[in-house]
Amino acid sequence: MPTDRPFWSALAAGVLAVLVAAPGASAGTGGAEVPTAGGGAGGAAYGSPLGGVPRPQAVRFSVSPRTVTAGGRLPAIVLRIAQPGSTRVRARLDVTPARGTGGRSVRIVLGQIRVGRTLRPGWPKGARLRAGRYTVRIHATDIGGLTLARPRRAPGRVTLDVRPKPKPKPAPTPKPAPAPSGPATPATPRPTVGGRFPVAGPFTFTDGFGAARDGYGHQGVDIAAAAGTNVVAPTAATVRYTDYQSSAAGEYIVARLADGRDIFLAHCIRHSTTVAPGQRVAAGAVLCRVGSTGRSSGPHLHFELWPDGWRDIANTAPVDPLPQLRRWAR
């Protein structure tokens, strides 16, 4: 049987020519082709950064007031961040002291916030700023890693000045009225005698001896009572001074008791004093009426006890009058 070898040889040669001419013969199965050196038509290659995307910007940022006092209320902060084409950014505020001030930085973490929304963030609990100058700065980053733009008209930072806390003013000292006659002489303490409670009506003990004041300690005991209640002499006494001090004691009386101790009675109703310097009074005699004159937050009698004479005598000091007042109140 004859064999058609020329036919089969021609057929094989034709198939081989077709395979060699077919495009994409070098591409692997199941994967994307490697892009050409020029990137090819149809857009940027995968993973390339997009050009022209705007960065976040602080379109509103204020710290008010810009000057505060150390230890006082911290300023209010208002901010709004904008970024076209974005809905959220991650943000924080850093409050940084100037070099050499010794202050500590404070960070206010805002987390993810919506752009275009006005925020009024609060300060961290317990935050304190020492005296000095600080920079309050916004930091914001969008989902693509773009950080806050800082143009001159909206840099996202402001300066905050913290002034030192003023020193407390010393407690005003009542100015003694002129002595009725002769120089003041030290008291001669004698055994304590019985007596009457100085407030002739219902009362309540409030601030005690040594209670903290602005820069000094309380030198007596406060006795709250209804305005107009009579203030009486606890024992027989001689009136030493009567005067008025608007900035502190108000209308006050200084008297020497029968046992030689001095008492100081303050905040009486204006012009309610019924005695005069040098006058001798019996136990229970009305001296004035409970009021709230001078530096006072409500009607009460401020009562001081000076065993060696009042402050116009050198080297004297008051003592806690509460034990004596309790004995008189029985």
Residue 5 has a pLDDT of 56
8 Å CB contact between 198 and 104? no
State the Cα–Cα distance between residues 232 and 229, nearest whole angstrom. Answer: 10
Residue 87 has a pLDDT of 92
How is the chain split among helix, strand and coil, in percent rounded to 5? 10, 35, 60
Residue 46 has a pLDDT of 40
Residue 41 has a pLDDT of 40
Pick the CATH number of 57-163 from 3.40.50.2300, 2.60.40.2550, 1.20.1070.10, 3.30.420.10: 2.60.40.2550
Q: Is the bond preceding residue 172 a cis peptide, omega within 30 degrees?
A: no
Residue 6 has a pLDDT of 55
State the Cα–Cα distance between residues 78 and 158, nearest whole angstrom. Answer: 12
Domain definitions of the chain by residue range: 57-163, 204-329
Residue 223 has a pLDDT of 97
Instruction: Give CB contacts under 8 A, 24+ apart, made by 100-106.
Output: 101/130, 101/131, 101/132, 101/133, 102/130, 102/132, 103/129, 103/130, 103/131, 103/132, 103/134, 103/162, 104/130
Q: pLDDT tens, position by position, for the chain (330 residues)?
A: 455 555 555 555 555 554 444 444 444 434 444 344 444 444 433 444 455 679 999 999 999 999 999 988 999 999 999 999 899 999 999 999 998 777 889 999 999 999 999 999 999 998 989 999 999 999 999 988 999 999 988 889 999 999 998 887 776 667 666 555 545 555 544 445 579 999 999 999 999 998 887 777 899 999 999 999 999 999 999 999 999 999 999 999 999 999 999 999 999 999 999 999 999 999 999 999 999 999 999 999 999 999 999 999 999 999 999 999 999 998
Residue 165 has a pLDDT of 87
Architecture of 204-329 per CATH? Distorted Sandwich (2.70)
CA 272-273-274 angle, to 5 degrees, is 110
Residue 274 has a pLDDT of 97
